[in-house]
Every structure is written in C-alpha cells, then in structure tokens.
Amino acid sequence: MNDISKNSKTDRAVDVVIMAAGKGTRMKSKLPKVLHRLAGRALLQHVVDTAAALAARQVVIITGHGAIEVEAALADKTGATARFDINFVRQEPQLGTGHAMQQAVPVLKDDGMVVVLSGDVPLTQADTLQQLIAASAGQQLALLTIELTDPTGYGRIVRQGEVVQAIVEQKDATVQQRELCEVYSGIMAVPAVHLKKWLARLDNQNAQGEYYLTDIVKFAVADGVPVVAHKITDAVQVAGVNSPVQLAELERAFQLRNAVQLMEQGVRLADPARLDVRGNLQCAPDVSIDVNCVFEGQVTLGEGVKIGANCVIANASIAAGAVIHPFTHIEGGKPGSKDFIEVGEGALIGPFARLRPGAKLGAEVHIGNFVEVKNSTLAKGAKANHLAYLGDATVGERVNFGAGSITANYDGAFKHRTVIEADVHIGSNCVLIAPVTLGAGGTVGGGSTITKDTPPDALSVARGKQVSIANWKRPSK
Ligand code: UD1
Ligand code: CA
C-alpha cells in the first residue's frame, strides 16, 4: 500500500496465522466448520486467498478439531495458495486463542509482522489488512475494531481517553465495560518479536479459564508499546460464521457485492439478488443475465452474450453474441483441460439444453431443447434442435441432426467415435452406432439404424421397408 511510510521497519515480511482449531458446534455438521463453503470455496480457503493477496511470506494454520480433514483439504494447493508454504500446527487440546498462538511460535520468524486471522471470518479484504499493517508501522500492536449496536459476546476495547488500555472479554467485563460498543474483531497485526515475548506471559486466570490472546494488549501497555485501534465500519469484513444462518447471511452479502461489481463493469443483471457466482465470472461488454443463474468455476462470457433465466453454467467459455436460453445446464471440466466447454460466436443454446464435459461448439451452432452433448465437437452452423444425444462425435459444418436421433457411443465396455462430415442431414429418430463415419453431403433417412459407414452425397436408409396389409382386422374380444 502506498500509505505505508518509508520507515525500514514497516517493510517487515508479513506472516499470517490463521486460527482454525475451534469446534464449530453450532454448525451441527460433521464437516469441520472452516471447510463449509461460501461462494464455492471453503471458508478457510477465502482466508488463505486473502493472505495470498497480502503477499504473505508464510501462512500458519492452527488446526485442532477435524485437523486431518482440514489439512487434507488445504494441502491440495491450487491457484493463489501455491505462492507460499502453508504450515499446519496442531493445537490439542484447545485452551484458548492465546494457547492457539503459542503453538505457532516455533514456526514464526522473529523479523516478521504477524497478522492474526480466523478461519471462520472469510470476507476480510486485503486492503483493510494492509491498512491495519500500516497502522502498526512495523512496531506497534494494531487491533482491527468495529462499533456494534449489540456488542454482546465480543471482547470490548477499553480506552483511557483515546488510548487503548485493554481488551476485556464479555465474561470478564464489568457492568460498565459491557456498555462499551467498540469490540475487537479477532484480527490484529503485531511484530513477531513482541508477540513471542507477550505470549510467554499469558495465564488463564479469567472467567473462562482460557489463555486469551487478547491479554497481550495489557502487556503492550505495560511495556510502553503503543496499541493502535484501526476501526472499520463494514461489519461484513469481520463477521464470523458460527451457524448455517450466519453462513447464508455472509453468502448473500458476498454475492450482492459481487453482483454490484459486475453491474459496475456494465453487466446487466435482471436482479442482483438472484445471481450466484461460485468461482470466477469474466464478462465482456453488453452481457445480460436473467434471474436465478449460477456460475461455477471459470466462466467467460463474450460481448453481447445473453443468459436466460435459471441456467447453471460451470467451466465454459461462451463467445460473443451467443444466446443461452432458459433452463440450460452447462457443465464443463477444469479450465485448460479437454473437458472445458466452448460455445462459439452467435451460437443458440437451449432452452433445456445440456452441455457436458468436452462439448466444443463452433460459431452459430444451434442446440435446442432436450439435447445432450458430451465430448463432441460441432463445427460452424451445425444444428441439433430437438431431443437428441451427441456423445463422442465429430460433427462437420452445417450438419443437421434430426429430432430424436442419437449416437450410440458405448458398447458396454468401450466408447467409440461417430464422425459426421460436413453438410450431412440426419433424419429424425436415427441411431448411429459408433464407430461409424457418415460421408460429406449424405442424407440419412428417418428411423435408420446406421451400423456401417455411409458414402458421401448418398441417401442411406436402414430400416424395415413399409408394408400395408389391406383390410386388416384388429383382434377383438
Ligand atoms: C475472540 C476474542 C474476542 C473477539 C472475538 C471476535 C479472545 C480471547 N477473544 O472471542 O475478543 O471479540 O474473538 O470474534 O481471543 N480458536 C482456536 N483455539 C482455541 C480457541 C479458539 O483455534 O483454543 C480459534 C477458533 O476456531 C476461531 C478463533 O480462534 O477461529 C476465535 O475463537 P472464538 O472462540 O470464536 O473466539 P471468542 O473467544 O469468541
Ligand atoms: Ca467467535
């Protein structure tokens, strides 16, 4: 941040410690609390990603309840997480936040600025933490605080005049102290040298018999180290998740902020309250998105793309001018893999279409209602408009794939490819038994079951010949 003064002590490396050993009883779930998902990412992953945005030198995660699961979930280092080492430290048993921090001491270097975060507080912004770090000026204890209309349960910031003297926990507070509305958020920045010294002095002589990290404020005051409170007003940034209700509240707050950002970039949302982005949604100009759409993984929408109501779209790139009609499900695989989905310029998809992993659709392709496409390439202008299945198929330009037709790609053990060359017309209700190649310009008569390659430009028909028996009498009772 540019507001950090050029004092050399302010250039300390940032070491982030994330407390995540608590039980999370109120979630009433077998899953450790910090692994519950917000916007598609584990709560703890949000915090780790924030540490990445701070360019932290190291991240220490204190685990306890569900440690094995938590460590396994985070050990799979992807994306932003890959930039630093994550050190896991176990806290067994859990004797308080001060005790938790004591476990981290052996892995913390003396020259760093330690930023203390909680694994269940997912929406703190990196900017806010940069300001907190700046407030510590490389040598002071900086507390992130907020005024709450109902401060019940939180540690209160006790000041003498303006000067911070202590944090007093709810259960230890006097009646007057309980009237104080400025609370400690659970987030602080503190030079490692001071932190280590103060942690060694903690005791558990308090109402809860716990080692309180918050007691270090008293030691700072006693040692003449200034304590600064960086007070913010945005409660979402310090809100913790303790229950499914709070998780849902933060999810909505996150989604609304994200929706507002998209609209500020020019995306037209029918209703910002009815959009869920669980990953990364990139939009070119003039994109419009109708209500109740969910985007997952990496989704890119080109200029002028229109997304109809009630679509679920994961891992796909949708090119300019394409229209995705309502109730379409697009389910691609990881970006960069063959399963990532591509939809070409001006394509029309849906309503009620299903694109599965590996669907690669060229420009102006039409995929209509109740059409499923899996691991198939459709070249420019190919159409499958009604009730069809294209699996493991290579489809040429301008092919018309008739209503009710399917590729029979699976023999019970192996998958086989169907190749449909340019300008082929497949009638309705055909079965193309793979492996099979249909030559360019050919036509397949409706109701055919095609088991052999067809020559170019020919009409191929493979079905029982129609017979009519005159004066046929239906059976009667
Ligand atoms: C703590 C602060 C309080 C502050 C509040 C903000 C202390 C003593 N109090 O309260 O001033 O207002 O956070 O939410 O620090 N944890 C461990 N090991 C433990 C105990 C807790 O890892 O032994 C973790 C929890 O998983 C959680 C975090 O520390 O992520 C905070 O614990 P929590 O019990 O919520 O803190 P409080 O005591 O409520
Ligand atoms: Ca808490």
The phi-psi region of residue 190 (left if phi > 0; otherwise alpha if psi is between -120 and 50; otherwise beta) is beta
Cα 340 to middle of ligand 1, angstroms: 41
Ligand with an atom nearest the CA of residue 184: 1
Annotated catalytic residue, options 194, 386, 416, 425:
386
Supply the DSSP string of 427-469, one letter for each residue. Answer: -TT-EEESSEEE-TT-EE-TT-EE-S-B-TT-EE--SPPP---
Regarding the beta carbon of 213 and ligand 1, being less than 6 Å apart is answered yes
Ligand with an atom nearest the CA of residue 216: 1
Q: Kindly give, in sequence order, each residue whose CB lies less than 8 Å from that of residue 87, ignoring residues fewer than 6 positions away.
A: 58, 59, 60, 61, 107
What pLDDT, on the 0 to 100 scale, is given for residue 78? 52
> Which of 33, 63, 65, 97 is the pocket-test mutation for ligand 1 (most atoms within 8 Å of CB)?
97
The phi-psi region of residue 199 (left if phi > 0; otherwise alpha if psi is between -120 and 50; otherwise beta) is alpha
Give me the domains of the chain, ranges plus CATH numbers.
Answer: 13-238 (3.90.550.10), 262-460 (2.160.10.10)
Contact (CB, 8 A) for 388 and 401: yes
Give the chain's length: 477
Q: How many whole angstroms separate alpha carbon 279 and alpha carbon 290? A: 18
CA proximity to 371, closest of 394, 350, 392: 350
Regarding the beta carbon of 21 and ligand 1, being less than 6 Å apart is answered yes
Three-state DSSP at 423 gives coil
Contact (CB, 8 A) for 332 and 355: yes
Ligand 1 atom closest to the Cα of residue 155 is 11
pTM to 2 decimal places: 0.93
Regarding the beta carbon of 450 and ligand 1, being less than 6 Å apart is answered no
Q: How many whole angstroms separate alpha carbon 349 and alpha carbon 329? A: 10
Cα 186 to middle of ligand 2, angstroms: 8
- Cα→Cα distances 77→72, 93, 205, Å: 10, 27, 40
What pLDDT, on the 0 to 100 scale, is given for residue 81? 52
What pLDDT, on the 0 to 100 scale, is given for residue 59? 96
| pLDDT tens digit at each of 477 positions of the chain | 444 444 455 689 999 999 999 988 999 999 999 999 999 999 999 999 999 999 999 999 999 999 999 999 987 655 555 578 899 999 999 999 999 999 999 999 999 999 999 999 999 999 999 999 999 999 999 999 999 999 999 999 999 999 999 999 999 999 999 999 999 999 999 999 999 999 999 999 999 999 999 999 999 999 999 999 999 999 999 999 999 999 999 999 999 999 999 999 999 999 999 999 999 999 999 999 999 999 999 999 999 999 999 999 999 999 999 999 999 999 999 999 999 999 999 999 999 999 999 999 999 999 999 999 999 999 999 999 999 999 999 999 999 999 999 999 999 999 999 999 999 999 999 999 999 999 999 999 999 999 999 999 999 999 999 999 999 999 999
Q: How many whole angstroms separate alpha carbon 18 and alpha carbon 351? A: 45
Ligand with an atom nearest the CA of residue 214: 1
DSSP state, residue 51:
H
- Whether 425 is catalytic: no
